[in-house]
Chains A and B, each alone.
Chain A
Amino acid sequence: MNVGIEHYITISALLFSIGFFGVLLRKNTLVIYMCLELMLNACNLGLVAFSRYHGGMSGSVFVFFIITVAAAEVAVGLAIIVALFRKRQTVQVGELNALKG
């Protein structure tokens, strides 16, 4: 079987959907956070595949920016989750519902 660009893009879209529905449906904040990372990495896969098959470099370079941004996001995000856990002793989304109206 010949692996073509459509296979990469299908996998990328699939990973993105798994991440997206994971964010919407999972209850644990840390799992939600992993799903968000999965979505970003699905984008990376898509960019690299398009870049390779269409013969441009800008997609591959963009991936480095995304990885950097994702790292910054994780640093801040985990800090918030840890601070919230210390305060409330839970990371379940269902129990973090003090703000509503």
Chain B
Amino acid sequence: MPTELYNTLSQTAATNNWALIYPELILGCLALGLLVLEVILPKFSHGVIPRIAILGQLLLLGYILVFDRTGCTHGVAFGGMIELTQTAQVLRVFFLIASIFVCYLAMVSFENKTLARIEYFAITLVITGALSLMAMSNHFVMLFVALETATVGFYILVSYFRQNALSLEAGLKYLIMGALSSAILLFGIVLLYGAASNPALASSSQDSMNFDNLHAFLAANSTDRVALIGMILVIAGIAFKIGAFPFQVWVPDVYQGAPLSTTALLAVSSKAAGFAILITLVEVFAPLSAWLVPLLSGVACLTILFGNFAALTQRNLKRVIGLSGVSHAGFLLIGVIAAQAVPQATAWVLFYLFAYLLGSMAVFGSLVHLPKAADAELELDDLGDLAKKNGFLGFALTVGIGSLAGIPPLAGFIGKFLLFVAAFKAELYALLAVAIVGVVVSIYYYFGVIKGAFFEIWRFQDDEEATPSETAQPGDLLTWLGRLTIGFALVGSIVLGVFQGPVGAWLGGW
């Protein structure tokens, strides 16, 4: 028996392919390196550490883009825990870009604060590594551990301003809701494991948490009730992560209270990771699609309607962005549903995610330079005349919001258009109708933001003392690095809108 066990273990160990996950290993080492640097560098030179974090990630990103665009070796590794696919490689690049950008945002918003700041960058790097492992996972254990690594990191990042009651309250809300959704996901996994490991049923397997084995089991037993409940619970847990109805209640509160850089990371990376795993799981659950498709369609409809109509009445900028993110999750869900019938739709979902990333980067990049940036009370009126005070930031905000809204020459328009084409090809006409209503409604609140940036808000001028908006101007902290970062998002949003060729080919869609 011991030799048998030893043989099994050594066979499994032979499938370990550490070269496959080198970006995640480098991210982890970089995160630890930052903490070491904090100890050994003298206090006055701590400002260089965030720059090292950004530089390290840029080098990694450059290496992947130049030498390893499609993933060095596709395939299953680590005893079936991980499967590297083209989609996972694309998402790896996505998470890296988002993480570099979030590091920049954090660098700017921590400029005038007395806080422990190095940990923020270290945790951001760890979360990024965990999210891209999550996108590669091919086994429920891997999925759960990667998901929890990221989620626990997010608890810390959301409540990072620990002197600020709002940030802490947002942290607590995220903690309770996040732990609740993890538990629901976990119970779903337990039921699926239990159903698929039952020796009395056909195609059952000892290692039934592996996605391939689970798929084989579901194909043979597509009416198993325990597995069906398990699937619904797993989808519910994921729906929470992407902020889909009815698990979206946490989104506005947490987005508002969290530091701006954390809001950006939550809005972009966390959501994309949720969709990465949803794309994988929809394939695994394909034999149950008689239940899965109506379930996801209903969720998508309600998500789009809720996100857009709830955003109409908001005055707080971060809440508007949060609720618009909810409706984006609805649009992406349409793409995920359509992917069952239209194979290119997966690539179109990825394109939409990139458009969403660039648009959000432009918006968050200009918001962080407002005088009240880190404040949870940032209202639409506080934008007051941004375009006149700083033309570059005003332009960036307009292009970003325009891209999120889907105004024609920008990337967001192409993203929405492709998803609608996918929905049309998959004959999801009802969903398409709801989505178009959603887009029309969304124009109203998106233009509220643009209006805030271009028109001065009339105020009583009777208080003599200088208000913060007179002492600090938007864009005071805007350096060449900031112009470069925001400029990248701007150019990306515009170029991807008119010319998608090479990127589209890379995503594998056309």
Mark A residues whose CB is within 8 Å of B.
Answer: 9, 12, 16, 19-20, 23, 29, 32-33, 36, 39-40, 42-43, 46-47, 50-51, 54-59, 61-62, 65-66, 69, 72-73, 76-77, 80-81, 83-84, 87-88, 96, 98-101
Q: How many residues of B contact A (CB 8 A)?
A: 49
Nearest residue, chain A, Cβ from B178? A73
Mark B residues whose CB is within 8 Å of A.
Answer: 140-141, 144-145, 148, 152, 155-156, 159, 162-163, 165-166, 168-173, 175-176, 179-180, 183-184, 186-187, 189-191, 193-194, 197-199, 204, 206-209, 252-253, 256-257, 314-316, 319, 376
Q: Which residues of A contact B144 (CB under 8 A)?
A: 62, 65-66, 69
Nearest residue, chain A, Cβ from B179? A36
Q: Which residues of A contact B252 (CB under 8 A)?
A: 101
A58 to B166, alpha carbons, bound, how many Å? Answer: 42
Q: A55-B206, A62-B141 are in contact. Are A87 and B168 (CB under 8 A)?
A: yes
Q: Which residues of A contact B168 (CB under 8 A)?
A: 80, 83-84, 87-88
Q: A62-B141, A76-B175 are in contact. Are A54 and B197 (CB under 8 A)?
A: yes
Q: A76-B155, A77-B179 are in contact. Are A99 and B256 (CB under 8 A)?
A: yes
Nearest residue, chain B, Cβ from A50? B194
- Smallest beta-carbon distance B426→chain A, Å: 35
Q: Which residues of A contact B169 (CB under 8 A)?
A: 84, 88, 96, 98-99
Chain B at the A interface: mostly helix, strand, loop or mixed?
helix
Q: Are the C-beta atoms of A62 and B209 separated by less than 8 Å? A: yes
Q: What are 8 A-B pairs with beta-carbon distances under 8 A?
A: A20-B180, A39-B186, A54-B199, A62-B141, A62-B209, A80-B168, A83-B168, A101-B315
- Smallest beta-carbon distance B463→chain A, Å: 25
Q: A19-B183, A36-B180, A77-B179 are in contact. Are A84 and B197 (CB under 8 A)?
A: no
Q: A58-B206, A80-B168 are in contact. Are A47 and B179 (CB under 8 A)?
A: no
Nearest residue, chain B, Cβ from A61? B141
Q: Which residues of A contact B187 (CB under 8 A)?
A: 16, 39, 42-43, 46
Known pairs A50-B190, A56-B207, A98-B169. 18 more at Cβ < 8 A?
Answer: A29-B172, A29-B176, A39-B186, A47-B190, A47-B193, A50-B194, A55-B206, A58-B193, A62-B193, A65-B144, A72-B148, A77-B155, A80-B168, A80-B171, A83-B162, A98-B166, A99-B166, A99-B256
- Smallest beta-carbon distance A39→chain B, Å: 4
A47 to B183, alpha carbons, bound, how many Å? Answer: 13
Q: Are the C-beta atoms of A84 and B172 separated by less than 8 Å? A: yes
Q: Which residues of A contact B191 (CB under 8 A)?
A: 46
A101 to B313, alpha carbons, bound, how many Å? Answer: 9
A66 to B148, alpha carbons, bound, how many Å? Answer: 10
A98 to B171, alpha carbons, bound, how many Å? Answer: 13
